[in-house]
Structure 1
Amino acid sequence: MRTLIFVNLFLLLGAVSYAQKVNKEDSTMLRKIYDTALLEGKSYQWLDYLSNNIGGRLSGSLEAEKAVQYTKEQLDKLGLDKVWLQPVMVPKWTRGIPEYAYIETAPGITSLANVCALGGSVATPEGGLKAQVIEVKGIEDLATLGKEKIQGKIVFYNRPMDPTQIATFSAYGGCVDQRYAGAMEAAKFGAVGVVVRSMNLRKDDFPHTGSMTYGDTPEKNRIPACAISTNGADYLSSALRIQPDLKFFFKQTCKVYPDVQSYNVIGEITGTEFPNKYMIVGGHLDSWDLGDGSHDDGAGCVQSMEVLQIFKKMGYKPRHSIRVVLFMNEENGLRGGTKYAEEAKLKQEDHVFALESDAGGFTPRGFSFDTDDANFTQIKSWEPLFKPYLIHYFEKGGSGADIGPLKNDKIVLAGLRPDSQRYFDYHHAENDTFDAVNKRELELGAATMTSLVYLMDKYGTKTEMSTLKK
């Protein structure tokens, strides 16, 4: 009996010793990854060029085409095993000349308003659109008011993001429907236009654009839609309380064109043991046109490129094939993510892990995961490795829009989760520019992503490991 106890104790101590060794090896590797990102990273340099030499990269634009060419060139320089462009048809919408708007409280007495057209909106009549305004807090108010009170007016959606939500993406999700579907729904009640409060927790003068839809509304019945800054929305709401019959004027010359061809940009380091099992990391290369798209999502693109740059710099040879995918057209169509998933299915490619960065280049806090309990338990066991870097957030939840089409019952999907408190100050607005990105925060995010990819590559997913044992 004593011999059995001794043997069991020996085995237990051996297992603990091995676990400590593995943990130390991983800890050392993560330290090297962070050092490489902070001392020899290229993400900030790449973002500088994307933002300041190319600018906003609206799908179908010349700038988007330049971004494709530039990022492919940079991936070529890394000495990857493969770099290629994946063709994808994308929508083309242009803003036209800068929008103009004012609030008219009496003939000749006006106050300027800061607005921008929503992505995909139709233009106003050539001379602009002026009408009385009816304020609502959400789409659900339309049915309550009825066509009699709405017809011939501009609907003003003024439901703010909930400031009590600590998770700002939850606050965004609580009111973004009025931007996306507001015009489609208001048109059913005879509205002639739509003004939407910007999705922004901060009070400022920057209108925030974003995608919208008309659904199956006939073209002749589509009404123009614009966003107004948070300060402008507060002023308009206050003015309406004093003078309900005031008028709002706005003019925009945006236009929708036929689809055009663009590309996803893809680079790969081929796996040494599992070359036909793929792990991908990516962000979306397109952006809105008001700023230069540094946070949304230039940051995610260069961080994803940095993952492969760090592996090459360190001489790390992954077991699985690691791909960086820079998706085109996340903002107003998700065509790039959909196309990549379609091609992967057509080629019967086995994707086991995908990580997306599309929440800005702020200080990384951790990750959210769309996976089963077995995989999540393994991932949670790595949490102590990240704590020295103040990375504590490992939770089940969403991942990313572009990798979403890859979802099945086997793949592990993940999203980088930076601190989100400032993200919506810049999201889809003119101030989403390079100067708003902190170099160190950007590099820490890239290192955090690389570390997770390394661990996923080393240990594999529970699904694939169970398959290999059979």
Structure 2
Amino acid sequence: MPDIRVHLGLKFQIPMKKFLLLMLMFPLLSTAQTDHESTFRKIYDSALTQSKCYAWLDDLSNKIGARLSGSENAEKAVLYTKTQMEQSGCFDKVWLQEVMVPKWVRGEKETAFIRDGKKKTAVPICALGSSVATPKVGLEAEVVEVHSIAELETLGTQRLKGKIVFFNRPMDPKHVDTFTSYGGCVDQRGKGAREAAKFGAVGVIVRSMTLRLDDYPHAGNMGYGDLPRDQYIPAAAISTNGAELLSKTLKANPKLRFFFKQSCETFPDVLSYNVIGEITGSTHPQNIMVVGGHLDSWDIGDGSHDDGAGVVQSMEVAHIFKNIGYQPQNTLRVVLFMNEENGGRGGDQYQAEAARKKEHHIFALESDCGGFSPRGFTFDGSAAQLEWAKQTQSLFEPYLVHVFKKGYAGVDIAPLKSPNLLKAGFRPDTQRYFDHHHAATDTFAAVNKRELELGAATMAALVYLVDQQGQ
């Protein structure tokens, strides 16, 4: 008779007593797997037939619109989502958590043109978040094109003083994961103005962070670090088509001049809120699981992908559990963070309150990569936690979800700290995200209802598994 241990693929040696015990456990393991598969099916069925997330996103995008921190629309979004969570019947309690946020206002629509001799060619730009304005009459100067911050050092004050620095490093198209491409060039947007100002530059123009060639400039935040305020210089993003044209024209005429005008302004901080809904755990109420996205958005689109999708998907997780009659064993919180885009203060405030109350968080999941088809998750945790996550992968494979890897989880949950905390970032398909990210094209029309719902189901399925695991 052949050794059954070899037949089962158990090629390592197991003492017979332990082997018999393992054989007795197989029906229990199989039952647990079957139970999880059944619950997964209920979760996905609910999301695809009974979800509210697409309708909630329609309201956020089309009835409220852009939701920059400190704006009237941001406060409308706070009230809207709080009301929807209260009326959904999904939560034991819903509350607002105070957070002071920056108030930056774009002002009049920006204008820019390339002056090549007597010829003027208009190009699309938008002020970068937190930038100062140009003089009221605008700013015009010669242009120096660079492809990295390090290149500034090689040029020095002699070449840069009195000039507009044009950062023109594109996103690298060779990376399949477009977030890797984004990470490879976003530093020029974030700190380009700060570094250029040290060499006497008078302004900064930055190529938009997108792989697509189009006429839409992409916003995003920047900062001046510890520069004295009198050294702040204005910074704007230029569309990729505009960047291509400027670069080509510069090669033909290195002495051309660039003009831009923007009237943005920073006001004193204002009071805003994180929106929090809680389902009390039936068995371990002291253990807290968080699922969330950020409620604020940039002001030139309506923020449907960034991050209206993450907001409504997080709300939908609770709605799915209600629909399938699942009561979490651990406490579940849906947290809609304020001010991810230009400060991250919502995440900081949530952690500060959690620390003050000595709360114990076991899991945090963030959705902030758009409402596209789900592909999987990145995990920030211990080696054992990552191994556990990978062992769940087979349950997701029937739903075409296959990415389970170590990686960054998200801006808003990054500050959160607790012993043995596992963080996860929801990862949808990335190929179209940066077509819309921070641009006027980030609209409700760009979101596919079914893909949004599949993402919500995938998030709910992971929350369910963590809850069952108990951490």
1:87 pairs, out of 98, 111, 129, with 98
Number of the residue aligned with 1:467: none
CA 1:191 to 1:311, structure 2 compared with 1: closer, same or farther past 3 Å?
A: same
Structure 2 CA distance, aligned partners of 1:73 and 1:383? 36
Does residue 165 in structure 1 map to residue 165 in structure 2? no
1:407–1:413: 8 Å Cα contact kept in structure 2?
no
2:453 pairs, out of 418, 425, 443, with 443
Number of the residue aligned with 2:235: 225
Does residue 212 in structure 1 map to residue 260 in structure 2? no
Structure 2 CA distance, aligned partners of 1:28 and 1:310? 14
Structure 2 CA distance, aligned partners of 1:417 and 1:374? 21
2:111–2:262: 8 Å Cα contact kept in structure 1?
yes
Number of the residue aligned with 1:428: 438
Greater Cα shift, 294-303 or 98-107: 98-107
Q: How many angstroms does 1:286 deviate by? A: 0.2
SS class of match (2:174)? coil
1:138-182: CA deviation from partner (whole Å, max 9, x where unpaired): 111111001011011100000011110111111111111100000
Give the share of equivalent positions with the same residue, in percent. 60
Structure 2 CA distance, aligned partners of 1:48 and 1:176? 30
1:85-164 equivalences under 5 Å are 85-107=96-118, 109-164=119-174
Q: How many angstroms does 1:6 deviate by? A: 7.5
Does residue 255 in structure 1 map to residue 265 in structure 2? yes
Number of the residue aligned with 2:52: 42
1:193-241: CA deviation from partner (whole Å, max 9, x where unpaired): 0000000011111100100001121222111000000111010000000
2:362–2:418: 8 Å Cα contact kept in structure 1?
no
1:405-416 equivalences under 5 Å are 405-416=415-426
Structure 2 CA distance, aligned partners of 1:236 and 1:246? 9
Number of the residue aligned with 1:237: 247
Q: How many angstroms does 1:313 deviate by? A: 1.6
Give the letter aligned to residue 366 of structure 1: G
Q: Normalised by the size of structure 1, how large is the TM-score?
A: 0.96
Give the letter aligned to residue 273 of structure 1: T
SS class of match (1:406)? coil
Give the letter aligned to residue 97 of structure 1: E
Give the letter aligned to residue 217 of structure 2: P
Give the letter aligned to residue 83 of structure 1: V
Q: Which runs of 5+ in 2 are unaligned?
A: 1-13
1:287 pairs, out of 297, 300, 309, with 297
Structure 2 CA distance, aligned partners of 1:311 and 1:158? 47
Q: How many angstroms does 1:5 deviate by? A: 8.0
1:333-365: CA deviation from partner (whole Å, max 9, x where unpaired): 000000000000000000010000000000000
Give the letter aligned to residue 218 of structure 1: P
CA 1:5 to 1:245, structure 2 compared with 1: closer, same or farther past 3 Å?
A: closer
Greater Cα shift, 264-273 or 213-222: 213-222
Q: How many angstroms does 1:421 deviate by? A: 0.8
Give the letter aligned to residue 191 of structure 1: A
Structure 2 CA distance, aligned partners of 1:5 and 1:123? 75
1:318-397 equivalences under 5 Å are 318-397=328-407
Give the letter aligned to residue 63 of structure 2: N
Give the letter aligned to residue 98 of structure 2: P
Give the letter aligned to residue 225 of structure 1: A
Greater Cα shift, 261-270 or 160-169: 160-169
Structure 1 CA distance, aligned partners of 2:391 and 2:280? 27
Q: How many angstroms does 1:50 deviate by? A: 0.1
Q: How many angstroms does 1:14 deviate by? A: 2.1
SS class of match (1:405)? coil
Structure 1 CA distance, aligned partners of 2:265 and 2:222? 14
Number of the residue aligned with 1:197: 207
Q: How many angstroms does 1:408 deviate by? A: 4.6
Give the paired residue count: 458
Structure 2 CA distance, aligned partners of 1:460 and 1:381? 15
1:203–1:230: 8 Å Cα contact kept in structure 2?
yes
1:180 pairs, out of 183, 190, 202, with 190
Number of the residue aligned with 2:278: 268
Q: Normalised by the size of structure 2, how large is the TM-score?
A: 0.96
Structure 1 CA distance, aligned partners of 2:167 and 2:33? 53
2:171–2:210: 8 Å Cα contact kept in structure 1?
yes
Q: Which runs of 5+ in 1 are unaligned?
A: 462-470
Q: How many angstroms does 1:446 deviate by? A: 0.1
2:166–2:205: 8 Å Cα contact kept in structure 1?
yes
SS class of match (1:32)? helix
Q: How many angstroms does 1:407 deviate by? A: 3.5
Structure 2 CA distance, aligned partners of 1:293 and 1:5? 59
Give the letter aligned to residue 201 of structure 1: L
